Amino acid sequence: MDIVYSPDHRLHNGRFEMKDGEFTPCHECPDRADRIFEALKDNADFNFLAPDADASAVIRQIHSPDYVAFLETAWPKWMDFKGTSNPPDAFPLIFPNRSRNVHAPSSIDGLLGYYALDTGSPIMSGTFDAARTAASCALTGQRLVTTGGRTVFSLSRPPGHHATHDAYGGYCFFNNAAIAAQGFLNDGAARVAILDVDYHHGNGTQDIFYERSDVLVVNIHADPSSEYPFFWGARTEIGAGTGAGYNLNLPLPAGTDWPAYAEALGQACAAIRKYAPDALILSFGFDIFHGDPLSRFLIGTADFRRIAGMIAALKFPTLIILEGGYAIDGLADNVLSGLTGFLETE
Ligand code: SP5
Ligand code: ZN
């Protein structure tokens, strides 16, 4: 299996996130991808490739020009604002919650709140380049799937599924899965399905395609009434306009174990089979693992292979993209288990 990977992910290396009222070390850290790379690099089942597509143009099909310009200039503006070449990571101060007459301000301390969803996603010097490279990994993977028809894994970080058309958050800046979906469409696909199995609802992916029928978005996730991202992910969100019926949310309660998960995954797979996409994108989050610091699901290492086996059995050309997964010591084993489920079905 081809794995698209760039060490440039390390350019995004936050010091702290604001979580549950405390500044804690970032869960979404370079060690995540480094440990997966180290564990798989000498395994003959995997072939590592550097990204050779530049996602810049497709990023602009998914994200607004002002948002892209904000991310590209945030760090120099922050250095200027702080009056030093070595400032702390950039965090928002104020959010324009449910207000009317909101306009982008000129100052970076205001812009951060204008474009941020949360306080968990610090911006630093390499954030833009790392996020663009993560998207380029996904786009390279998409082209390999389009031309080769086989399953490819994009070892992208930072992750993407919380990033909307014009907002960042949940450790996500560019929506790698949405960019890859647009890449499939650009290269001739008529219909693309995205299956998101991260513990957290993929609000960004849902939002980007909410009024479109050319991308089916299916999410299996922790019930947002009690879990991040809280405001999106209910069953009642089914899409709107042309997209009505093309968004499926399957929220699950705390304590969900493999049998209950398998039932929801079966429903998700049935919806995807019925849609008959030309390509499938799996937003593969490993934070459903029982040992994950953010998880209240009870999914074990061997279950990732079962999850992958059910998805691989659909037999659609598939691009797998890394989303979350923060149990650093178990992460590489969980990813290997998940990828093995695909290798067995190829
Ligand atoms: C890509 C991805 O997985 N992003 C997840 C972002 C979640 N950040 C907020 C975490 C808040 C956790 N509160 C947990 C309370 C249990 N101690
Ligand atoms: Zn997650």
pLDDT value for 244: 98
Average pLDDT over residues 237-255: 98
Report pLDDT digits (tens) over 107-141: 999 999 999 999 999 999 999 999 999 999 999 99
Decide if 161 is catalytic.
Answer: no
Instruction: Return phi, psi of residue 211, to 5°.
Output: -110, 25
Report pLDDT digits (tens) over 160-208: 999 999 999 999 999 999 999 999 999 999 999 999 999 999 999 999 9
| 24, amino acid identity | T
80: which 2 tokens?
């200027």
Q: Which of 162, 200, 201, 221 is catalytic?
A: 162
Report pLDDT digits (tens) over 304-332: 999 999 999 999 999 999 999 999 999 99
- Ligand 2 centre and the CA of 208: distance in Å? 18
pLDDT band (50, 70, 90) for residue 27 = very high
pLDDT value for 149: 77
Q: How far apart are CA 261 and CA 255, in angstroms?
A: 10
Q: Are 209 and 217 in contact (CB under 8 A)?
A: yes
pLDDT-above-70 percentage for the chain: 100
Give this prediction's pTM.
Answer: 0.98
pLDDT value for 256: 98
Torsion of CA 208, 174, 226, 217, to 10 degrees: 40
- Asked if the model's pLDDT at residue 346 lies above 80, the reply is no
31: which 2 tokens?
């060690």
Q: How far apart are CA 136 and CA 55, in angstroms?
A: 5
Report whether residue 120 contacts ligand 1, using a CB cutoff of 6 Å.
yes
Report whether residue 198 contacts ligand 1, using a CB cutoff of 6 Å.
yes
Report whether residue 284 contacts ligand 1, using a CB cutoff of 6 Å.
no
Q: How far apart are CA 231 and CA 201, in angstroms?
A: 10
Average pLDDT over residues 15-25: 95
Instruction: Return phi, psi of residue 23, to 5°.
Output: -85, 115
DSSP class of 242: G
pLDDT value for 187: 98
CA 31 to chain CA centroid, Å, is 17
**Which atom of ligand 1 sits closest to the CA of residue 160?**
1
Q: Is 286 helix (H, G, I), strand (E, B) or coil?
A: coil
The closest of 179, 82, 79 to 131, measured between CA atoms, is 179
Report whether residue 159 contacts ligand 1, using a CB cutoff of 6 Å.
yes
- Asked if the model's pLDDT at residue 96 lies above 80, the reply is yes
Alpha helices in 187-277 (DSSP H): 203-208, 258-275
pLDDT band (50, 70, 90) for residue 106 = very high
Average pLDDT over residues 250-273: 99
Q: How far apart are CA 249 and CA 171, in angstroms?
A: 21
pLDDT value for 227: 98
Q: How far apart are CA 336 and CA 106, in angstroms?
A: 46
Ligand 1 pocket: which of 172, 200, 334 to mutate (most atoms within 8 A of CB): 200
pLDDT-above-90 percentage for the chain: 99
Report whether residue 196 contacts ligand 1, using a CB cutoff of 6 Å.
no
Q: Are 127 and 310 in contact (CB under 8 A)?
A: no
Q: How far apart are CA 308 and CA 271, in angstroms?
A: 16
End-to-end Cα separation, the chain, in angstroms:
10
The mean pLDDT value of the chain amounts to: 98
